[in-house]
Structure 1
Amino acid sequence: MISSPLAIDVRRGAITELGSLLADRRIATEGRIAVAVGPGQGGQIASDLDLPNCTIFHVNDGSVDAANDLGRELRAGSFEAVTGIGGGKTIDVTKFAATLAGIPMVAVATNLSHDGIASPVSSLEHESGKGSYGVTMPIGVVVDVDYVRSGPQKLVRSGVGDVVSNLSAIADWELAGTHVDERVDGIAVTFARVAAEAVLNRPDSVESDEFLTVLAESLVLSGMAMSVAGSSRPASGACHEILHAVTHKFPGTSNHGELAGMGALYAFFLRQRYLDEGGGRMEEIRECLLRHELPLVPSDVGLTTDQFVDAVEHAPSTRPGRYTVLEHLDLPPEEIRRSVAAYVEAVSR
């Protein structure tokens, strides 16, 4: 059985139908709706909603504490459902809070920065950095292309890096299937691969409504792949180990999607250099990142070579038990340093 949202609406003007979606009796029978909004466009959208019985809550950060606080308020208010309106942090907090409260959640994305829109995972900040938590996937997903277009282009472009990184995650999963006998779910792989391939070689970009629609649908499909797998495995491999290591060691560096894309490119470079495979895929990913003005090398996100080497060394510890090309190669520190120098030389603009 495959879990799927009841409704997925990706188009211009989609937000105008949000009230009708929330009135669906499979979501709420009496209309007691909570609306969680982020610091960006969420507040404006919420004020425009025709939902007389809704209560608005403000989500100011993407922390575990914020999610727990919202969860307590949702339980205390006896709400039937909650909708999270905003970017990735707001949606992740709302997913976690809805799971704590045991009520359905509708995700309304105002940007396309990563694949958390429809995934069963919340990435939340805590005292020691950032962690991933299993949650119930949204019962409905709404992406209004008009609102996405009016947001920062940088965030939209970063979604490209996140969805394309699925290809690295899939290669890592298949590697684990071969070498440590990990079970690989073919349906989850199909969803994750189709999501990445839909974006990888498209010649248009975020200026196009058609591209934004495909990107949004790909991010939703990537989230569904994780739901099928029961974990983030089809969308998170060495690419995300590196991402989380950078975030932990050098907070504030770039953003999720940009780091995921660069991590995927480095992971395929390792495959080409040490396993003599993946060279064609590496070039496809490099061209895609270039086309969408995404970072390729550490200096593009403000990291020194030493800092990136440090992050790669630390990366496997961010996901204990996950087998990727990093664990497979198990390179000593000096070889990691040589590989990073060769990578920078190979893929620089």
Structure 2
Amino acid sequence: MTDERTEDMPECALDWHRAGQGAVLATVIETWGSAPRPVGSQLAISGDGRMMGSVSGGCVEGAVVTEALEALADGRPRVLSFGVADEEAFAVGLACGGRISVLVEPVGAGPDALPEALLADLVAARAKGRAVALLTRPGTGERRLTTGEGDPLAGVIDARMRADRSGLEEDGWFIAIHNPPLRMIVVGAVHIAQPLLPMARACGYAPVLIDPRGAFGSAARFPGETIMDDWPDEAMAALAPDARTAVVTLTHDPKLDDPALIAALASPAFYIGCLGSTRTHAKRLLRLREAGIDDAAIARLHAPVGLDIGAKSPAEIAVSIMAQITQRLRQG
């Protein structure tokens, strides 16, 4: 049985190992051509052959499981390569015609196996929402878990964290990026929020809408969305924006926007955007300075919010906001 919740693979492998069932982690470390799953995708395999996750969308999982069980028996990791030409795609290998390399690592004791303690540290860091990278040099047994700070590969790790992109470096290190989930906090249940929230979700964010005005933040206007009706400063305190959080204020009402902005500027949120004209923003800056916000903090604000693409409709404005957030996330 396969479960597609691939984000939980380290946790699943650790649970199986600690339950005495045996566990193997298989990770896509390199791709060429039309590979079905991106680098960093993982498949967890238990000692009795159960699977969770995916390294190829079903194309080569059977072969990977066979190798994983052998790795569990001998305690040795291995790198597997799969690939075929497009015209042979449905006969054997990858149905998409690409090629992939998969690192298969048994958990626990054994020659160069993935140590339980290291896997437990990774799981603990993920549970705390810390951005970390697990570095592995296939074939040597060298591994280390790092935030990137002070690491010899700090610059490379930082760039990969910003891009959410695991990958194999020329020096042989495979850098597996484990970032906490992306979040977006939207203050103001206005028309722009209606297209913005599903756009954010499509881009991988978990959106939360804040608006204490019941007529605005209703389930009828935002079906299926997470809505908080607390005052923005209270809601922001509860949500605790981190470095993987974008904050967007849309109400035009200083009583709602300003407390949210003050809270956001005190947090490590990577993006803080405010709806409003240049004139409206100038008045906002005066209020923030009167509230004790310094110029360095104010410089973090993106206002008027969104890239200047000539957007007019609520949906177009939402596109411009999502584009600017993406630019900030990926380019720093």
Greater RCO (Cα-Cα under 8 Å, separation 6 or more): 1
TM-score between the two structures when normalised by the length of structure 2: 0.29
TM-score when scaled to structure 1? 0.28
Structure whose residues are more often strand by fraction: 2
Larger relative helix fraction: 1
Q: Which of the pair has more CA radius of gyration?
A: 2
